[in-house]
Structure 1
Amino acid sequence: MPSAMIRSIIPLGVALLGATSVLADPPSCALDKKCPKEAPCCSQYGQCGVGAFCLGGCDPRMSFSLDSCAPAPVCKDKTYKMDSLDRYRDISKYLGDPNEADWVGQGEPAIYNGNTLLTMPPKSVGTVLATTTYMWYGNVKAKVKTSRGKGVVTAFILFSDVKDEIDFEWVGVDLNQVQTNYYFQGIPNYDNSGNISVSSNTFDDWHEYEIQWTPDEIKWLVDGQVGRTKKKSETWNATSNQWAFPQTPARVQISLWPGGLASNAKGTIDWAGGEIDWNGGDIKTYGYYFATFGEITVQCYNAQSPPGTNKKTSYYYNNIAATNDTVVDSDKKTVLKSFGATGTNMDYDDGTATGAGASASVHSIPGGGQPAGQVPGGGTSAGGSSGGGSGAGSAAGCQTTGFSQSCNQPGGSGGPRSVDRTLGASAFAIVVGIAGLLFL
């Protein structure tokens, strides 16, 4: 899926939030429009701010300076069981310490039968989770049951702060193949995609998907079989005089997002299989679309010398070129003191270190604001309970004063719909970065 198409989701977030008087528009940023000094960090949403803007997804090329973004935690070999949300933090609760959390994100994740559900209630923008550590080459594999339905997209990708990207994506109308893709620094190239057939229905059956990434090639595997290989030697771009190959530290990101939103570009909607039906079968039965993620395993590349080392604490860039020879494996710290801190003033304390309450600036959490009922899964107030749905209204039969994922299901048991919502929606959780927004 072209990242440029996915960017069409960003205006949705602006539209959802435009009605609230709490939101103040953060400055925007791009390669030719760096962030101002007072809001120095360019987040993955293309907006400038401090705090969480300076953590995962912060693009140093578009920020006020290379050191505006906080350094990124280095790769760690780990198996994520995905059977608990104890090590998950909403973006409004995370200050950069990977020892406190394995995953950070937005939306409505839930636990069902020992696995993690990524959910997308009606009129929401779904759910996205990203690892708190970065891979600088290595292997990652995930057990996945995708979502289904036209316009519904499941994604399992690697995404770097400078928008290098390696993708697995599934559109909900095609449950017998997975789409693969890669990008260098977010530059759209529509010839980079390729499909892999899957032996059985991706919604009903578990399959294991794996990305093997080295400085020389990428392999995409399904159920242990190599389905596609792309060599770096095949990616030379004579115009830019460089290798158009993903090569910088990346987070593992998983998401469920509405490619078929009516407000999206026609090309995106067509690619996603059509306009999403917010009254579809899974919405009627369970109250949301959902994808299921089982165990995810990360194996670091563990090079003895760059590129691909993880010997110290953090990665940062020493040159705006943002290629693998500009990545530094360093001892710089990764943790911000507060949501008012930045990479150049990480110890700044404005009192928002815990809870990210109403006093936190709208420029310190990507998206900002406190819109009731406009976030994935709803939301009423900082730290409060969630509304009964998202966007225009709640799911039929669910009370608007509280959220229970067992509402409107006959008997109140059985199936994913019976799972009680594990986490309240954050008052700051807005537009989720989905697929390449996460995706930008």
Structure 2
Amino acid sequence: MIRSLLPLGIALLSATSVLAEPPACSLTQKCPEEAPCCSQYGQCGVGAFCLGGCDPRMSFGLDSCVPAPVCQDKTFKMDSLDRYKDISEYLGDSSEADWVGQGEPLLYNGNVLLTMAPKSVGTVLATTTYMWYGNVKAKIKTSRGRGVVTAFILFGDVKDEIDFEWVGTDLNAAQTNYYFQGIPNYDNSGNISVSSNTYDNFHEYEVRWTPDEITWLVDGKVGRTKKRSETWNATANQWAFPQTPTRVQISIWPGGLETNAKGTIDWAGGVIDWNSDEIKNYGYYFATFGEITVECYKATSGPGSHSKKSYYYNNIAATNDTVIDSDKPTVLKSFLGSGTNMDAGGDTPGGTAAGASPESIPGGSNQPGQVPGGGGSSDRGSSTSDTSSAAGCSTTGFSQTCGQTLGGKSGSVRGAERTLGASALAVVIGIAGLLFL
């Protein structure tokens, strides 16, 4: 079904476009020069693939990804979608948008609803600027129902991750987790009890992240702390601790999708019910997001700094001492551009390239098993030992010196307002691509 939708989406881009499967990418299979950027979903391309989520370790070169806008202290009221852009409309200018995403965000009663219609994979929004340590807190009412997952996470381009997640069958607990460079270690998880039903009641969830520890809070009370000193990996000779710039990412996604790994389905409470009362009453599952506040870490230089314009990596190890706070530009002229040629297609009217390929939309052909908004590993059910992608790191302090990496229907929820800015391209390619699991 997905392959039948993709040609339609491409036809909307250009009648002469030719359908092509974007190359896959990994630590051992980097992107080719003609499609140099490895997206968050493990596919190579240009344009939006080179923006948020682009992994420099898996791309053609470290400079293939566009530099990421630095952290900014900001409070997002979440009472408007004026500062939101669909991924098909965003070229990297964070002064024009606070959030970029895919799916169907709606407005209701001064808050944003993230929705998941039947047979879709939900909605994901990410900040356009990156947080390199600091505090972030959000007021949230979660979704509910088996297989339905709400997420509030910090997610980095090199797969460093800090999570709050809620499964729809347990409305009295918030699940927390963290990953270093996407390496699956399910011993990293831990639950925090919540005082009242997370679907019916707003709670404030907060992550405080420094170079030395992560603290998760609920309604201002500390629920869990993880110290960097507890994460030393003697085999890899490095700290297995999130340490690189991340975007704040909020989402609703189907952990219980039938095509997901069994461990993910079990973790999410079972196979999702597309005929549930939630779907019958409202037309979709939804999660409600109120005010979100980002406070950047206070550092004038080195890890956590944000005194210039953008972040990039100068070493494939992708640890905190390889991040450069720079004055490099962050904006592409068109979806034909990349970090090494940011002006490509710039003379095309409207700033987008005629004949653009599927690679211009990240998620246009997802890596099997990868669920947008779901964070790092796709199979949440099996515990595995911690392995590493880098070696030879210094144990002194937390500035690691590492060697090269080796490897809706009408009558929708309570009068919610639909966004009008999402293009047909975003609906067809965004949703079709996200469904490719």
Q: TM-score of the superposition, structure 2-length normalised?
A: 0.84
Cα drift, residue 18 of structure 1: 5.2
CA distance in 1, matches of 2:166, 2:25: 30
For the pair 1:300 / 2:286, whether they are aligned, the reply is no
1:112 paired to 2:108: yes
Query: Is residue 16 from structure 1 mapped to residue 2 from structure 2 by the alignment?
Result: yes
Shift of 1:359: 3.1
Task: Note if contact 2:38-2:54 (Cα within 8 Å) is conserved in structure 1.
Answer: yes
Could you tell me which amino acid in structure 2 is paired with residue 331 of structure 1?
D
Q: Which amino acid aligns with 1:422?
A: T
1:354 aligns to what SS in structure 2?
Answer: helix
Which residues in structure 2 correspond to 1:196-215 (within 5 Å)?
Answer: 196-215=192-211
What residue in structure 1 maps to residue 124 of structure 2?
Answer: 128
Measure, in 2, the Cα distance between the counterparts of 1:140 and 1:353.
Answer: 39
The correspondence for 2:268, drawn from 272, 288, 293, is 272
Aligned-partner SS, 2:425: coil
Tell me the amino acid that sits aligned with residue 427 of structure 1. Answer: L
Quote the Cα distance in structure 2 between the aligned partners of 1:348 and 1:97: 16
Picking from 249, 255, 259, the partner of 1:253 is: 249
2:318 aligns with: 322
2:108, 2:414 within 8 Å by CA — same for their partners in 1?
no
Query: Unaligned 5+ residue runs, structure 1?
Result: 1-14, 370-375, 377-404, 410-414
Report how far residue 20 of structure 1 moved: 3.8
Mapped pair 1:343 → 2:339: yes
Task: Specify the alignment match of 2:329 in structure 1.
Answer: 333
* Residue in structure 2 matching 1:180, options 172, 176, 181: 176
For 1:95, give the aligned amino acid: L
**Once the 2 structures are TM-superposed, how far is the Cα of residue 417 of structure 1 from its aligned partner?**
4.6
Within 5 Å, give how 1:4-403 maps onto structure 2: 16-17=2-3, 20-21=6-7, 22=10, 23-349=19-345, 354=350, 356=352, 359-368=355-364
Tell me the amino acid that sits aligned with residue 2 of structure 2.
L
Does structure 1 conserve the Cα–Cα contact (< 8 Å) formed by 2:163 and 2:178?
Answer: yes
SS in 1 for 2:2: helix
2:419 maps to a residue whose letter is: T
Other structure's SS at 1:256 match: strand
Deviations 1:274-327 (A, max 9, x none): 100001111101100000000000000021221100000000000000000000
The CA deviation at 1:362 is 1.5
Structure 1 residue 263 displacement after superposition: 1.1
8 Å contact kept, 2:345–2:352: no
The one-letter code of the counterpart of 1:262 is E
Tell me which residue corresponds to 1:427: 425
- C-alpha contact 2:173 2:191 (8 A) present in aligned 1: yes
> What secondary structure sits across from 2:183 in the alignment?
coil
User: Aligned pair count?
Assistant: 382
* Offset of residue 24 of structure 1: 2.0
Cα RMSD, aligned residues only = 2.1
Cα deviation code 1:22-68 (max 9, x no counterpart): 44210000000000000000000100000000000000000000000
Q: Identity of paired residues, percent?
A: 75
- Identify the range of structure 1 (200-209 vs 357-366) with the bigger mean alpha-carbon deviation: 357-366
Distance 2:281 2:353 in 1: 35
Does the Cα contact within 8 Å between 1:54 and 1:69 map onto a contact in 2?
Answer: yes
Equivalent residues of 1:137, 1:214 under 8 A apart: yes
1:250-288 deviations in Å (ceiling 9; x for gaps)? 000000000001111111110000100001111101100
Letter of the aligned partner of 1:416 in structure 2?
A: V
Residues 205/151 of structure 1: CA separation in 2 closer, same or farther (3 Å cut)? same
Counterpart CA distance in 2 for 1:338 and 1:199 is: 48
Return closer, same or farther for 1:187/1:38 CA change in 2, 3 Å cut-off: same
Q: TM-score, normalised by structure 1?
A: 0.83
